[in-house]
Structure 1
Amino acid sequence: MADKHEFDVEKTQSDKNTNDETLVMNEEVENSRIEAVALVVPITDDPSLNAITFRYWIIASFFSIIGAIIQQYYFYRTTSGSFSIFFVNLASYSIGKFMEKCLPVRSISLGRHCMSLNPGPFNIKEHALIGITVSTAAGSAYAIDILSATDLFLNYRIGTVGSLILIITTQCVGYGMAGLLRKYLVYPAEMVWWSNLVQVVFYNGMHSTGEFKTIKMIRGWSYMKFFWVFCIGMFIYEFIPQLVAPLLVTFDWVCWLNPFNKNVWALFSSVSGGGIFSLSFDWTSIGGASMWLPLSAQLCTYGGMVLNYWIILPIFWLNNILGTKSIGRPLTSHLFYNDGTPFNIKEVLNPDYTVNWDLYNAGKSANMAPMYALGFMTSFIALAGCVSHIICFHGADIVKNWKAAVGSDREDIHTKMMKVYPEVPQLWYATFYVLMAGLAIVACEVYELQLPWWGLIVSLILGFLLTLPICAMVAITGFGPGLNVITELVCGYMLPGKPIANMTFKCYGYMAMYQCQSLLSDLKLGHYMKIPPRSMFIGQFWGTLIGAVFNYLTMVLIIDSQRGILNGTKDDPTGLWTGQRVDTFWGSGLIYGALGPAKMFAFDGKYWFVYIGFLIGFVVPVVLWALSKVFPQYQWSKFNIAIIAGGMGAYPNGYAIGIFPSIVVCLIFQGYIFRYHKGWWKKYVFVLSAALDTGAAFTGLVMFLFFSGGISPKLSINFPHWWGNYADENGTTAPYMSSDRCGSYKGQNWTGGV
């Protein structure tokens, strides 16, 4: 419950601005330097609106609990769904308006804290803060992977207190970092955080604020009517690819020209191969982001995908480079022997899950699919390229933005407007970060996670140092690399033979950055929506806390009831439960923590070339920066090697779906409409994107609950067999019609050998 004094401060500040909703900093209307932001983010505010209200606590807590449970539930299901934030926004709006009409107008108090049950109309700030809190809670915490792996495969369950400390600290270390870095990654105008623009349009359209009151869409529709028409239309349409004709999800039309040719399968199948020129008519494989993310960043991403999967993969496969064909599939993350048979690392492990090198050296060595090894190289290119690119092209701006954050002529209009609210002191975030780091050390030392205190500190330092360049790139371009591979690599060298330590190191190093990135994005949304910083502090922490508790409780209930199925000792007759995600995480811990990168990436071995990625990543941005000084008329910074490398490593396990249609959508909306019809783009793109994504998400949720046995196995409904869903009238797979439509009919699929 918020302190009444905080609301008094906000009200006092609002009196200074009178009761006018419009806050104009100069006589001339000032706006953001970023064109897309200026087009869609209003420069209005009403500081008298409270974000933390009684309605906020009830609605945010309810949806946070539901979201945390549902997302953790999905984690162990074969068919995953998603808890759409747009669904939360729509439902919370309806509930908020209902509470506005029904709650009595009186206050409740607890000591010196006081809050009105019904402070007035359900406002846009409390609505946005509900969404931010729920998005913080509604996910499966990364630490759940560690807890699930040790529980399922080692029969070791960390106690409730230790588990909650592990989950909360992995989430909240990033939270402290976000607060410390907000001056550099939130306040400057250049730090756009593109996905928030959709939310801004959605909230303002729903509440009819400012110009949204008067804007009319096609046929005179309001913003929300436009949203609902296209949302319902996409909801109905998505049943076609997701239920009636799954053929449309991976429309590998080239495969049909020669369906039983192995080379055609490897190159053109989007399920197992490169998916060259594959089509998809499923909106979830395209996504609304392709309509509004920066054109240059998208072209870099898709360029990387085309380079890797449409050019390099065919070269590797057709020439059998590094034995690509012997693996059997061009894209897979599993390990194999030289003859293509699967490698089982458990056969060479000691009882304490360290490698028995005598057994390993006496047998055949493990091999990776060459394209998977190349994926490690591209991840190193992406990481080094991100750091180098940010330093070369944005280093000076970051220094200037540091000054702008404390006051200068370059301050963003939205940063100026936020000065009316009391700021969260840096000391709060610093204290929070140190406290969470201390608790993390306790968790590692007390609960047998194999990671010594100094190893944890190394992981936190690694995460902190790389968070600034990575999050800056995400904020500016919408794309950025992760730290999962580099953290595994560092710990593999630092603590060889300790798989649990490797998983824990990765969790703290990678998740601290990822959680920081997520929370920074939410802070920017609060910045655009003019939510008081102290309210944001409370809302984000509350969502993190709820998510941790209910993730853990859901995990315990599911593991206790489905243990045999999840650890692979029992078959699931319903086919609805799976431990595959945990098994993959555990397998990665064994490969990098037990087998170790020193063995897999030895300089005298097959995969030594992966380390060249660091050199390429560092050098290319420096060369481009030098060219920008010699030829300043060209925008060399748009060529981003980190984003290109990210696209190259987008599909390490296959399912290269949606590349071609995404490129088409990107070129239409960003390449043509944004450039030549900005008025139309400003008016329609973000609300259309939100409508299409929400409709597709609703279809997925309904499919999961009522057609795939999400509520009960009895509600597993299959559409009648026909050629559009891979089966003939007898229910057997028909020629050319399987999910992998190149050669899997009549036993002609390949699992190894040339």
Structure 2
Amino acid sequence: MAITTTEKELTNADSDSQLIQDAKLISDSESYVVRSDEPGNATTTRFLHGEPIITSGEDVSNYAVDDRDDGDQSLTFRSLLIGTIVAGLGAALNEIYFFKPIIVVISPTFVLLLIYTVGKAWERFLPTRASFQNRPRLTWMTPIAHFINPGPFGLKEHAVATLICTTAANGSTAVGNFAVQRLFYDSKVNATTAVLATFSTACFGYGIVGLLRPLTVYPAEMVYWTNLPTVAVFQTLHFDKTQTSKRLKVFWATVTGAAAYEVIPSYMFPWLNGVSIPCLASLKASDFVRMTFTNLFGGAQANEGLGLLSLSFDWQYITSTYMSLPLVQQWNSWIGLGLCYVGMLAIYYSNAFQSLSFPFISTDLFNANGTLYNQTAVFGSNFELNQTAYNIEGRPFLSGSFVWSSMTGNWAIGGLIAHTICFYSGYIRDSIKRVRSNTLDDRHYIAMKKYKEAPWWWYLILLVLAFFAGDTTLPWWGYIIALTLGVFVAPFSNVLFARLGNGIATNGLMKMVAGALHPGRPVANLYFSMWSHDVIATSILLAGDLKLGQYLKIPPRVMVLTQIWGTILGCFVNYAVMTPIVSNQREVLLSPVGTNVWSGQSVQSLNTAAITWSLAGQLYSASGPYVWVPIGLVIGMIPTFIQWLIWKRWPKIGPVEVDKIVLPVIYQYMGWLTAGLNSTILSTILVGIISQVWIRRRHPGWYRKFNYLVGGALDGGAQTMIFILTFAVFGASGVSRPFPTWWGNPNISSPTAVNNLDYCKIIE
């Protein structure tokens, strides 16, 4: 039957269920548009068969997340101890993935499942207050037992323990700078310095977040989309089991199935992570054809190729991200990926920037003949440019892929600033105004008013502590400029990430400024970036946790204590895990290619950017070979300004809403394939299409009840098995037990190997 569309105003509804019931009373087969007008921010919700189609942040707030608050305890001895113990595990795993071919953030679902198991066992097997109430001689044990085991393991205790763990894992980006020093400069940073510096970046980021809460946390449109699977799992596990029994069955069945299946692609049959029909078809072709096919279709190993048409069946790399990101973000990213294929191939095969002399994809520095650049000779033990040695060695060269990545990265930064000012400035003013006038009507924000808010001066104290904890090699004025730059850019990055689930890497801007302030000093460039870009990255992660706390009704003051404690734990764990990895895997991490288990792409990229920007005068000046990289900041701003002028005159052109074209997202994804493992791209697109295009629009009821839940369960199951395999067979316990070699698990490390995992040719 054809679906007709009518409009119906539904007002004065107390909850999402009431809104849905009202729509169903009207008709259970037609599609309805429900309009809700906030001051200066009209929104539209479409109903299909009485079920809302989740599109906007207000839809998420009203229909996807329950505002129920049972008033249960949050910060208890049990939640603190379990969170502290599991935080060590979560931070360690996140640090391990920093040195993997694909950087995967440990799923909160994996962590919360582990904590849930421990918490329910604690609740069941440890004595409670009731255990001693009828035993006169042991009544003195009653308060002690209640302190240790206060009863049912509730949602808020569970959430606090999980947030301690996820916060602890946020320090891996800062610790990466110390890994660079160990690998490329043979400099072992003092442990105290490293821990204090990591604490400084995290707390400074948290201080910024606290002051920006009215803009980046409180409003409904600040969703932090990737948190939604986590919220769905929390509420499913803890709310009325009689109403959620079906969801629980689906959840645990999915977790079990995902865990059992993950053994196959990650251990027994790794070819499934890069199924490439073109690579298989080229097995008997000439070397030239096979090398070309590797560049275009290969992608199952780090820096192999673009992975065009490859399919991955390994969920640990696909993740539920694209089951939660809004469709507007995804189709902008698809445009960017398409342009990335065209741009990278055009640069390489036209020999722009002498690309044919270097690997197709690489984050290393090279000599003109394609050999690795001897940076140790040029910068020496004092980490400063030796002009005499530089004259002998000559200037370093970059691969075409790295230049392309640097250019598109700067376009994205320029576009981020321009897009936020042009398209979001009205929203920003309105949000701040409504918070100050106490007229913000997001139901989750209103529900949190029963709890005492953390005063702004708490966050100001954090900023002061973070400032003095920052033991740095930078001069005092460079340190202050770095922090100021981070504070300036943070609101732009937070707003875009919260609205779209997409962050813009601002590292290029920070390193550019550092290169101008500290020429010839790559390590100073690293530290400048740490107190600017890493502060921004940390602020986004912590803001997402604050939003999670708002959805789950965790008291704000408890959130502050939880995140500070998690930050302190993470400072120690991340550094402790990084040290043995860098020592034991040194050769692999320094290799331009790496393996399918370990990769130095992240640290290599950090080092290359630091080196090149410390030589900004030689490489990026008007007479330098890469002058288009810094110009990219302006190039990224201009099209957005033109787009804004078009939007003011023609808000909609045909079926396209002009303001839904988000150029910084497109630019970001134009450089998405320039490092790492690319065989997962098509699979993530297909997951996004199935979830956000088909299920969300055609089956909104299933989407609302199960989409985020199933995504979180798939993450939890896959990463639980990866954790087990890491210690059982991947060597984390000291003994590696590789699966026997066969066609689906070729021995790619053999000196005689000619094929990658996907059977594209190995390019030497």
TM-score over 0.5 for the pair: yes
8 A Cα contact 2:228 2:708, kept in partner: yes
CA positional deviation for 1:612: 3.3
8 A Cα contact 2:416 2:492, kept in partner: yes
Cα separation, partners in 2 of 1:673 and 1:377, compared to 1, 3 Å = same
Query: Which residue does the alignment assign to 1:222?
Result: 246
Cα separation, partners in 2 of 1:312 and 1:160, compared to 1, 3 Å = closer
Within 2, Cα distance between the matches of 1:601 and 1:732?
39
Query: Which residue does the alignment assign to 2:699?
Result: 677
Cα separation, partners in 2 of 1:230 and 1:472, compared to 1, 3 Å = same
The answer to whether residue 280 in structure 2 is matched with residue 256 in structure 1 is yes
Within 2, Cα distance between the matches of 1:397 and 1:523?
20
Segments of 5+ residues of structure 1 without an aligned counterpart are 1-21, 216-220
Query: Which residue does the alignment assign to 1:303?
Result: 335
- Alignment partner for residue 317 of structure 2, among 276, 282, 285? 285
- Alignment partner for residue 521 of structure 2, among 485, 494, 498? 498
Cα separation, partners in 2 of 1:82 and 1:390, compared to 1, 3 Å = closer
**TM-score by structure 1 length?**
0.84
The answer to whether residue 629 in structure 2 is matched with residue 597 in structure 1 is no
The CA deviation string for residues 402-453 of structure 1, in whole angstroms up to 9 with x for no partner, is 012223544311111111111111111112212211332xx12xxxx2x011
- Give % identity: 30
Cα separation, partners in 2 of 1:365 and 1:79, compared to 1, 3 Å = closer
Larger CA deviation: 618-627 vs 99-108: 99-108
CA positional deviation for 1:213: 4.0
CA positional deviation for 1:305: 1.4
Cα separation, partners in 2 of 1:254 and 1:72, compared to 1, 3 Å = closer
- Alignment partner for residue 156 of structure 2, among 120, 125, 128? 125
User: What secondary structure is seen at the aligned counterpart in 1 of 2:450?
Assistant: coil
- 1:152-171 superposed matches below 5 A: 157-171=188-202
Amino acid at match of 2:530: C
Query: Which residue does the alignment assign to 1:610?
Result: 629
8 A Cα contact 1:81 1:701, kept in partner: no
Query: Which residue does the alignment assign to 2:27?
Result: none
Within 1, Cα distance between the matches of 2:589 and 2:742?
35
The CA deviation string for residues 369-388 of structure 1, in whole angstroms up to 9 with x for no partner, is 12211111111111111111
8 A Cα contact 2:57 2:222, kept in partner: no
Cα separation, partners in 2 of 1:433 and 1:154, compared to 1, 3 Å = same
Cα separation, partners in 2 of 1:114 and 1:624, compared to 1, 3 Å = farther
8 A Cα contact 2:383 2:521, kept in partner: yes
Query: Which residue does the alignment assign to 1:717?
Result: 737
8 A Cα contact 1:144 1:552, kept in partner: yes
- 1:627-646 superposed matches below 5 A: 627-633=646-652, 634-646=656-668
8 A Cα contact 1:565 1:577, kept in partner: no
Query: Which residue does the alignment assign to 1:6?
Result: none
The CA deviation string for residues 297-329 of structure 1, in whole angstroms up to 9 with x for no partner, is 0111122112112x22222333333322221x2
Q: How many residues align?
A: 694
CA positional deviation for 1:124: 0.8
Within 2, Cα distance between the matches of 1:284 and 1:570?
25
The CA deviation string for residues 722-753 of structure 1, in whole angstroms up to 9 with x for no partner, is 2122259x999777x53263333xxxx34xxx
8 A Cα contact 1:288 1:689, kept in partner: yes
The answer to whether residue 604 in structure 2 is matched with residue 584 in structure 1 is yes
The answer to whether residue 551 in structure 2 is matched with residue 521 in structure 1 is no
8 A Cα contact 1:274 1:654, kept in partner: no
Cα separation, partners in 2 of 1:642 and 1:586, compared to 1, 3 Å = closer
Amino acid at match of 2:638: V
Within 1, Cα distance between the matches of 2:589 and 2:666?
42
Amino acid at match of 2:233: F
Larger CA deviation: 100-109 vs 198-207: 100-109
The CA deviation string for residues 509-547 of structure 1, in whole angstroms up to 9 with x for no partner, is 111111111110000000000111001011111111111
- Alignment partner for residue 266 of structure 1, among 280, 286, 295? 295
8 A Cα contact 1:60 1:134, kept in partner: yes
User: What secondary structure is seen at the aligned counterpart in 2 of 1:274?
Assistant: coil
Amino acid at match of 2:619: M
The CA deviation string for residues 22-64 of structure 1, in whole angstroms up to 9 with x for no partner, is 9879998999962233222112223x32211121122112212
8 A Cα contact 1:480 1:642, kept in partner: no
Within 2, Cα distance between the matches of 1:568 and 1:738?
16
CA positional deviation for 1:132: 0.9
- 1:708-747 superposed matches below 5 A: 708-713=730-735, 716-726=736-746, 737-739=755-757, 741-744=759-762
- 1:93-104 superposed matches below 5 A: 93-101=116-124, 102-104=126-128
Cα separation, partners in 2 of 1:155 and 1:181, compared to 1, 3 Å = same
User: What secondary structure is seen at the aligned counterpart in 2 of 1:723?
Assistant: coil
Within 1, Cα distance between the matches of 2:497 and 2:103?
26
Cα separation, partners in 2 of 1:42 and 1:494, compared to 1, 3 Å = same
The CA deviation string for residues 379-401 of structure 1, in whole angstroms up to 9 with x for no partner, is 11111111111111111011000
Query: Which residue does the alignment assign to 1:398?
Result: 428
Within 2, Cα distance between the matches of 1:493 and 1:536?
39
Cα separation, partners in 2 of 1:70 and 1:622, compared to 1, 3 Å = closer
Within 2, Cα distance between the matches of 1:467 and 1:77?
27
Within 2, Cα distance between the matches of 1:402 and 1:524?
16
Within 2, Cα distance between the matches of 1:710 and 1:564?
11
8 A Cα contact 2:378 2:386, kept in partner: yes
Within 1, Cα distance between the matches of 2:155 and 2:626?
54
Query: Which residue does the alignment assign to 1:338?
Result: 368
Amino acid at match of 2:756: S
Query: Which residue does the alignment assign to 2:564?
Result: 541
8 A Cα contact 2:180 2:606, kept in partner: yes
8 A Cα contact 2:589 2:598, kept in partner: no
Query: Which residue does the alignment assign to 2:113?
Result: 90
User: What secondary structure is seen at the aligned counterpart in 2 of 1:188?
Assistant: coil
8 A Cα contact 2:363 2:605, kept in partner: no
Cα separation, partners in 2 of 1:568 and 1:354, compared to 1, 3 Å = farther
Amino acid at match of 2:567: T
User: What secondary structure is seen at the aligned counterpart in 1 of 2:532?
Assistant: helix
**TM-score by structure 2 length?**
0.83
Query: Which residue does the alignment assign to 2:228?
Result: 197
- Alignment partner for residue 623 of structure 1, among 619, 642, 662? 642
CA positional deviation for 1:496: 1.0
Segments of 5+ residues of structure 2 without an aligned counterpart are 1-12, 23-35, 37-44, 46-55, 133-138
Query: Which residue does the alignment assign to 1:355?
Result: 385
Within 2, Cα distance between the matches of 1:588 and 1:673?
43
Larger CA deviation: 622-631 vs 392-401: 622-631
Within 2, Cα distance between the matches of 1:275 and 1:568?
22
Amino acid at match of 1:35: D
Cα separation, partners in 2 of 1:410 and 1:373, compared to 1, 3 Å = same
8 A Cα contact 2:361 2:402, kept in partner: yes
- 1:295-444 superposed matches below 5 A: 295-309=327-341, 311-327=342-358, 329-440=359-470, 443-444=471-472
The CA deviation string for residues 223-275 of structure 1, in whole angstroms up to 9 with x for no partner, is 22211211221222222222222222112221233343132222222242222
Within 2, Cα distance between the matches of 1:436 and 1:341?
42
Amino acid at match of 1:721: T
